[in-house]
Amino acid sequence: MQIEKRTRYERYVQDKNTYQYYRGLISRFLSHIKYEYYSYRARRKGAHIGEGVIMCKAFMRACNKNTKVGNHCVINSGHFTGMALYPVEIGNNVIISDGVKIVLGGHAIDSSEWEPFRESSKLVIEDYVWLCPDCCVLQSVKKIGEGSVVGANSVLYQSIKPMSIAVGNPASVVGKRECVHSDLVVESLLHGDFKQYKETRKKKL
């Protein structure tokens, strides 16, 4: 019995017939143009954007010189409060789902001038982090460790160590992730995998 060595993505692309493949290629090309334009606009505003970054329009509009994003990320939320004042550093292969809210800064509640306030200089989201839909990251969080997952609708109020699974309101660590999504083509989550789609098909040929 022969063991299947292809990844799920390779089987998905390579097992399509010719019509299905080209239909998918055309739709991905249109998405590719859109996402490349968003990355271009973000870089023009001073943001550091890596390769293969898939972002929504709202995040592109919020980007500035304080924004740093690694390679092969999906950012499907633009709710980054305080990004104009405080830096955010996003690693590689990070997934930020729809509806995620990241509060980078607040205000000094005991000040008569109510000036902007953050406990640390920046927020660091390390490689392979997955922020599930509608979760909230508060300004008291300094770092989300590599490979961590923050569950849907959770409210994260403190930093978490690598490979943590945090859920609830307030969020608490309930377990450890066994592996990261290293075989996932992250761009495919929002149909932005035009280059990978072509390259994966060529492997079959």
Residue from 100, 102, 64 nearest 81 by CA: 102
If you search the block for the tokens 């920046």, which residue do you land on? 122
Tell the CATH topology of 8-204: UDP N-Acetylglucosamine Acyltransferase; domain 1 (2.160.10)
Residues in the chain with pLDDT < 70?
Answer: 1-4, 204-205
Report the predicted TM-score, pTM, of the whole model to 2 decimal places: 0.93
DSSP string for residues in the chain: -PPP-S-HHHHHHHTS-HHHHHHHHHHHHHHHHHHHHHHHHHHHTT-EE-TT-EE-HHHHHH--TTEEE-SS-EE---EEETTTTS-EEE-SS-EE-TT-EEE--EE-TT-TT--EE-SSS-EEE-TT-EE-TT-EE-TT--EE-TT-EE-TT-EE-S-B-TTEEEETTTTEEEEE-S---TT--GGGGGT--HHHHHHHHHHH-
Query: Going by DSSP bridges, is the β-strand pair 123-125/143-144 parallel, antiparallel, or unpaired?
Result: parallel
Give tens-digit pLDDT for 91-120. Answer: 999 999 999 999 998 888 888 888 888 888
| All structural domains of the chain with their residue ranges | 8-204
Give the pLDDT of residue 1: 45
CA 61 to chain centroid: 16
pLDDT at 79: 94
Contact call for residues 121 and 100 (beta carbons, < 8 A): no
Q: What is the pLDDT of residue 203?
A: 84
pLDDT of residue 3: 59
Structure tokens at 56: 């929504």
